[in-house]
Amino acid sequence: MSVSDPIADFLTRIRNASRAKHRRVEAPASRLSEEIAKLLHREGYIEGVARMEDGKQGVLRMQLRYDRSDGTPVIEGLERVSTPGRRVYIGAREIPRVRGGLGTAILSTPRGVMTDREARQAGVGGELVARVW
């Protein structure tokens, strides 16, 4: 079955697994989804990410992160912004702050996939892929 928006599918798998309190989640691999997963790991939203080869395109296996005291998911919300039918491009001066700076915006820029803070510091804009908080 083909998926019309693989990034939305990738984010939905993470969101659903987090809400169901699964320890890990697997999703089909692509360059963009792998970069987003690495960014989520770097920002502390997930514990780890590994690419597994399956003879086709590969699979990303991610370990989700939960609060140690009460077990609540670290990822409270995950939202796709730019879609195949409505791309959202923003300039360096228009980069939004997610939840007053407590969340992270994910941008696909000419310099690669970056967080809102990294893009603001580098002075580059690009496609606003998703928001995480």
What is the per-residue pLDDT across 6-20, written as a single tens digit (0 to 9) for each?
999 999 999 999 999
123: which residues sit within 8 A by CB, 6+ positions away? 92
Report which of 54, 73, 130, 66 is spatially closest to residue 96, judged by C-alpha positions. 130
In a domain, residue 120? The reply is: yes
What is the per-residue pLDDT across 90-110, written as a single tens digit (0 to 9) for each?
999 999 999 999 999 999 999
Whole-angstrom distance, CA of residue 96 vs CA of residue 89: 12
Residue 19's domain comprises: 6-132
In a domain, residue 11? The reply is: yes
In a domain, residue 1? The reply is: no
Confidence (pTM): 0.92
What is the per-residue pLDDT across 26-42, written as a single tens digit (0 to 9) for each?
999 999 999 999 999 99
Domain count, the chain: 1
- Check which CATH number belongs to the domain holding 57 and give it: 3.30.1490.10
